[in-house]
Amino acid sequence: MRHPALLALCLLGAGVLAACNRGPDAEAARAAAAVNVIDETNLNEIMMTVADPGEAVAYFRRALDGAPDRIDLRRWLARSLVRAGRPVEAVAAWTAVGEHPEAGDDDRVELADALIRAGEWERATAVLNAIPPTHETFQRYRLEAMVADSREDWGRADAFYETAVGLTARPAGVLNNWGFSKLTRGAYAEAERLFGEALSYDPNLFTAKNNLVLARAAQRRYDLPVIRMTQIERAQLLHTAALVAIKQGDIATGKALLQQAIETHPQHFEAAVRALEALEGGTVRG
């Protein structure tokens, strides 16, 4: 008859011990662990955005050596290698991520990106084809568009670019890529429109500014567009327009543009000076 009472006392004692385990020291330890996780996450992001790319790679390699099973560290290492401009190593790192049991379709998309950076277009295509069509992300469609471009499958490229633009709030980069695709096809007016749209989202994207001048100059419109630009950028864009003019046989126009570029640049503009000297020396002929 005493057994129920004894059991109750035992349970009560266990409860008291559990409560002791949740005392101030245990709570403090848990709080410290949470802070460590936050600190590590912040440090990882700092290493990816601020630190020297080589130092970031070394940092994540050391971290992964200490915890080789952590997929997040594998991802950080792979991203750091991409940032450091080491695509072949990035391919190996993203492949290792994909072998982890927690890997997902986003990781496979990143592998495809690394493969494209490494020039392995066929492998990138195979990786993308293996991803379910239900995985609809900006990054996936951006890469699909690039692959279609590489195969000159213009219809699919345009469809993928259009889809990618609709899946991001920051489409400047993909609009610039789409415009460059149109530029290579000789669709200069469409390219000009896309570069202008890219600059409406990111007025500081110099690649799009330069491409916009290329598209206009290809139509023999050598005047600079009305866009935001620094004095150095203006000189560089005049130089770009000049080179297109010369290539198209408009030598007098090209010479005048080179002179403007030299006068506009706040420092010595060596490339423009050399081109002008070559023209005046009769090296380039229309």
% residues pLDDT > 90 (the chain): 79
Alpha helices in 103-205 (DSSP H): 105-117, 121-129, 138-150, 154-165, 172-185, 188-201
Predicted confidence (pLDDT) per residue in 196-249, tens digit: 999 999 999 999 999 999 999 999 999 999 999 999 999 999 999 999 999 999
Average pLDDT rounded to a whole number, residues 146-166: 96
Q: What is the pLDDT of the chain when averaged over all its residues?
A: 87
Instruction: Indicate the pLDDT class of residue 282, thresholds 50, 70 and 90.
Output: low
255 CB-near residues (< 8 Å, 6+ apart) = 242, 276, 279, 280
- Judged by average pLDDT, the poorest of 36-40, 122-126, 221-225, 250-254 is 36-40
136-219 has the same fold as 50-133? yes
Instruction: Indicate the pLDDT class of residue 32, thresholds 50, 70 and 90.
Output: very low
pLDDT > 60? residue 28:
no
pLDDT value, residue 283: 54
pTM reported for the whole predicted model:
0.79
pLDDT > 90? residue 108:
yes
pLDDT > 80? residue 266:
yes
Q: How far apart are CA 72 and CA 78, in angstroms?
A: 10
Whether 255 and 279 have beta carbons less than 8 Å apart is answered as: yes
- Judged by average pLDDT, the poorest of 32-46, 99-113, 202-216 is 32-46
- What are the extents of the domains in the chain? 50-133, 136-219, 229-286
pLDDT value, residue 58: 94
Whose CA is closest to 211, among 248, 258, 176? 176
Question: What superfamily would CATH give domain 50-133?
Answer: Tetratricopeptide repeat domain (1.25.40.10)
Class in CATH terms, 136-219: mainly alpha
Average pLDDT rounded to a whole number, residues 68-87: 95
Whether 208 and 176 have beta carbons less than 8 Å apart is answered as: yes
